[in-house]
Amino acid sequence: MSVTVPRIQPQPFFADKNRAFWNLQSLGWAGAFLLRGSSTIANGQPFSSLIPVLISTVTGYSVTLLIAVVFRFLLKQRPIVTWGVSILMVVLAAGLVAFIDAWVFSTQNRGSETAGLQLFLGAFYLSVTLIGAWSALYYAINFYLTVEEQADQLLRLENQAANAQLAMLRYQLNPHFLFNTLNSISTLVLLKQTDRANAMLSRLSSFLRYTLINEPTAQVTIEQEIETLKLYLEIEKMRFEDRLRPIFSIDPAVAKARLPSLLLQPLVENAIKYAVTPKEEGAEISVSAQPAGDNVRIVVSDTGPGLNEGGMKPHIPMSEGTGVGLPNIRDRLIQAFGERQSFEMRSTPGGFSVIIEFPLNMDETSKVAA
């Protein structure tokens, strides 16, 4: 019988700032007591001399708690106020601790010839060093936490901006495709071909359900993307019938590789518009995905007229009037993969091809399409 061992997730030390403060406060003053106590014993003093050290440590611990309350307020003030009042607080706190230390020492050692002022100055030097170091550490930790918080906030804002841009690019695709399909359904209804119109409407419903239930910033596997393309092509085949001849060649080694959802659909839509529509005999549209070293290479090609025969021009958006097209796909690739991607167009006598390469990544992400 196997035993499931629960995974312990490490928590950052400063995840709970209040707990981290008390831990550091207690450990710091405990360390100060051990250091001063061991130094006292090492100098041949009796164990009873640890009592003033303990009282001094407890006093310092208590006083710094009060200082922390004041410093927390000063963090929100102007720098000149923060530093000025902080220095004054350190001096006053050190004076208070030194006075208590001197009084405890003189009470315990009534026969000592050491003058009260000398005792106070010696204790004050030690106290101002300890409390000054404590204050410097307090501000240093708070400065570090502030920088970390600002960095996290900046990262969250950058992610939100990137996600918003990805969502905008994805949402640009739907209106154009929806317009074309609804126009075809309307035509079928006018021609009283209700069965075909109903079938197309059903397929459109399935396709839109897929696009709506998934986040626009989600990544899908190539396998999922191809299934979506097939669903889209079923709708288009209702219009073009045998004139539209899709061919798929997907290497199993890259079937689970991830890419932005609906990245290939506008390329296929473009091929239909410029290769299938103008030719009476239609055209073949092939989609292939193969490994290319550490990358995935996807090729979407057609047997249409290409660039040299009056087909699509590289600088013209694929969907005129909506601004959707090649720039959209380039932007989505850049958003998803940065510089680790490429986008290339090739025109041959036998047609036109778009070649996309991006890193081969099969890891699950937090934004995976259903």
**304 backbone dihedrals φ, ψ, rounded to 5°:** -85, -165
Q: What is the pLDDT of residue 288?
A: 94
Q: What is the pLDDT of residue 196?
A: 81
Domains in the chain, ordered, with CATH? 17-162 (no CATH), 173-359 (3.30.565.10)
Residue 316 burial (10 A CB sphere; 0-12, 13-18, 19+): exposed
Q: Is the pLDDT of residue 369 over 60?
A: no
**Would residue 9 be called left, alpha or beta, if left means φ above 0 and alpha means ψ between -120 and 50 degrees?**
beta
Q: Are the C-beta atoms of residues 80 and 144 closer than 8 Å to each other?
A: no
Q: Between 304 and 368, whose confidence is greater?
A: 304
Lowest mean pLDDT among 36-40, 187-191, 321-325: 321-325
pLDDT band at 325 (very low <50, low <70, confident <90, very high): low
pLDDT band at 212 (very low <50, low <70, confident <90, very high): low
pLDDT in tens, 91-117: 998 888 888 888 887 777 765 555 567
| Stretch 259-283: mean pLDDT | 85
The pTM of this model reads 0.51
CA atoms within 13 A on the CB side of 50: 12
Question: Percent of the chain having pLDDT more than 70?
Answer: 79
The CA distance from 317 to 326, in Å, is 6
The CA distance from 359 to 248, in Å, is 21
| Stretch 56-79: mean pLDDT | 87
Question: Percent of the chain having pLDDT more than 90?
Answer: 12
| Stretch 132-152: mean pLDDT | 87
Tell me the C-alpha to C-alpha distance, in Å, between residue 75 and each of 79, 92, 330.
Answer: 8, 19, 46
Q: Is the pLDDT of residue 151 over 90?
A: no
The CA distance from 81 to 85, in Å, is 6
Q: 146-155, 163-172, 242-251 — which one is most confidently predicted on average? A: 242-251
Q: Beta partners for 166?
A: none
pLDDT band at 317 (very low <50, low <70, confident <90, very high): very low
pLDDT band at 296 (very low <50, low <70, confident <90, very high): very high
Beta-carbon contacts of residue 365 (< 8 Å; ≥ 6 apart): 219, 258
Averaged pLDDT score across all residues of the chain? 78
The CA distance from 65 to 52, in Å, is 20
Q: Between 318 and 199, whose confidence is greater?
A: 199
